[in-house]
Amino acid sequence: MPDLAYRLPSFDAALATLPYATDDVARDETFWDAVRALYPSSRSVINLENGYWGAMAEPVKAMFEHWTDRTNRETTLLIRAHWPQMLEQLRETVAGALGCERDEIVLTRGATEAMLALISGYNRLQPGDSVLYCDLDYPAMRYAMEWLRERRGVVPVSFAVPEPATRASVLDAYAQMLEQHPRTRLVLLTHLSHCTGLVMPVRELAALARSAGADVIVDAAHSWGQMDFDVASLDAPFVAFNLHKWIGAPLGCGALYIRRGSVSAIDTYFGDRDFGADDIRSRIHTGSPNFAAWLAIPAALQLHRRISARAKESRLRHLRHHWVRRARELPGIEILTPDDDAMVAGITAFRVTGQTSSDANRAIAATLHERHGVYTVQRHGPRRGDVVRVTPAITTTEADLDRLLDGLRALDTL
């Protein structure tokens, strides 16, 4: 079997150029200059829309190309002979990085695939039960929660997360919804909202739901790699991840977690019979994935560990604070996340007061792009109106964010 721990000599050489993270790594520009040197540079536009997916570092891309070349040359001879064992090793690697066991993880092509398998497969619902979600959840997951009405005969209930959100107001909002809808049996939770960047107190919310007799399914598409945590800390039975946003793996890499003992609550995937009913691998059936992308996961995780999850989280939050603290002083700019480190990481959205339509927010993002060379994105979802999302990467500089601030100060709509 091919050695999945194989690294090109250039991979090791590139990682050797990195210093080690210091205690004050968030402000250690020497460290981040070295990190930035590993990534492709395209400075024509300042990209503050790194939430869609994350660029691979060049050494990871080289490993992806290595595996692309190999799978393309050897095709079925490589995969038929070795894929089952290789896949087991990959599951082991991803489980190790998440702090769980291999039999709790199955790979997917992304978080959507994993989340839809969980929501559609959750089988502990009776007709007349309620399922709960909020305005900040990801659109595809909100649609799936609504579709459970047809699929399971349940009553979907949604609510708007308070603005401005605080830890107490979020906990209180979920508690009230659970109290008002005592037949709630399933709650969708998004660890880090794609819309505003709000980080939910998932562990507490999962406990709250449990005490009300409901399970939670957690969408952790944006948190793993942006924040430093392991899956046990969420204390949730069902969680979906991807590795192509903040872990730095190629596009097409995701993971589905089902806590040991909880697999029977999810139906087998379209009646899968490849694996036993007690085996998580029967809960997703991906078919042929991009083998090379999945084979590049160990390299992506190695770089992620080398930079360190703690360093990435603290740098991203530092960059977020850099622009948000200044933007808060601008009249007419509303910031959608609190300055509470427990409730925010790298992403934060803003709204220009009164500009709540999708078109208005698209126009604001277009102005920032065309006049100031700063790329952001309009997001729809919050009940109180659309927003513009700002997502730095670990390669973003404070000077990049100063350009954003120049753009915000010059907005005609203010």
Site for ligand PLP in 206-225 (CB under 6 A): 219, 221-222
Q: Which is nearer to ligand PLP, 195 or 295 (CB)?
A: 195
The least CB distance from residue 284 to ligand PLP, in Å, is: 13
Q: Which is nearer to ligand PLP, 181 or 194 (CB)?
A: 194
Tokens of 410: 């010059």
Measured distance CA(211)–CA(389) in Å, rounded: 34
Contacts of residue 340, Cβ cutoff 8 Å, sequence gap at least 6: 166, 167
The least CB distance from residue 170 to ligand PLP, in Å, is: 16
Binds ligand PLP (CB under 6 A): choice among 61, 91, 152, 194: 194
The least CB distance from residue 10 to ligand PLP, in Å, is: 28
DSSP labels, 289-319: --HHHHHTHHHHHHHHHHH-HHHHHHHHHHH
The least CB distance from residue 347 to ligand PLP, in Å, is: 9
Distance of CA 101 to the CA centre of its chain: 21
Residue type, 134: C
| Site track 248-277 with ligand PLP (rule: CB under 6 A), x = hit | ------x-----------------------
Of 173, 171, 178, give the one whose Cα is nearest residue 342: 171
Q: What distances in angstroms separate CA 166 from CA 3, 147, 163, one per listed residue?
A: 48, 30, 8
The verdict on 138 binding ligand PLP (CB under 6 A) reads yes
Q: Provide the β-strand partners of residue 238.
A: 217, 258
The least CB distance from residue 274 to ligand PLP, in Å, is: 23
| Site track 104-133 with ligand PLP (rule: CB under 6 A), x = hit | ------xxx---------------------
DSSP labels, 161-204: PPSS--HHHHHHHHHHHHHH-TTEEEEEEESB-TTT-BBP-HHH
Q: Which is nearer to ligand PLP, 26 or 116 (CB)?
A: 116
* Three-class secondary structure of residue 215 per DSSP: strand
Q: Provide the β-strand partners of residue 266.
A: 122
Site for ligand PLP in 70-99 (CB under 6 A): none
Q: Which is nearer to ligand PLP, 138 or 350 (CB)?
A: 138
As a whole number of Å, the CA-based R_g of the chain is 22
Of 410, 399, 377, give the one whose Cα is nearest residue 197: 377
Binds ligand PLP (CB under 6 A): choice among 47, 50, 184, 190: 190
The verdict on 156 binding ligand PLP (CB under 6 A) reads no
# binding residues, ligand PLP (CB under 6 A): 11
**222 in Cβ contact with 193 (< 8 Å):** yes
The values of phi and psi at residue 388, to 5°, are -110, 125
The least CB distance from residue 5 to ligand PLP, in Å, is: 26
The least CB distance from residue 14 to ligand PLP, in Å, is: 26
Residues of this chain that interact with ligand PLP (CB under 6 A) are: 110-112, 138, 190, 194, 219, 221-222, 242, 254
